[in-house]
Amino acid sequence: MAEVVKEVGVAATDLSFQMGLGYLQYEWRWLATNSPGKIPKQLHHLRERLEELLLPIQHGGVNAPVLSNP
C-alpha cells in the first residue's frame, strides 16, 4: 500500500484497503495457475488499475438537505 501511495501521489487514507486486498487475492490466484512468462505483463496491467483503489472524494462540511416523502 505504501508503494501505491507513492506512485499515485495521494494520502494513505485515500486508498481502499479492502479493494487492494481483493486485487492481491485475485493476482495470487492468477499467478498460481499461469506461466511465469506472463507475470511482467500482468504486473503492468495491475499498475494501470491503481486508480481504482482510490476512494471517492468526500466533501467535508457540506450538508445536503434531506428530502423526505410527504
Place of cell 499461469: 34
Tens digits of residue pLDDT in 3-52 = 777 877 888 888 888 888 888 898 889 888 888 888 888 888 887 887 77
The pLDDT of residue 62 is 59
Are 64 and 15 within 8 A, CB to CB?
Answer: no
Distance CA 48, CA 43 (A): 9
What's the predicted TM-score (pTM) here? 0.56
Closest CA to 4 of 57, 58, 48: 48
Q: Could you tell me the pLDDT band of residue 58, with boundaries at 50, 70 and 90? A: low
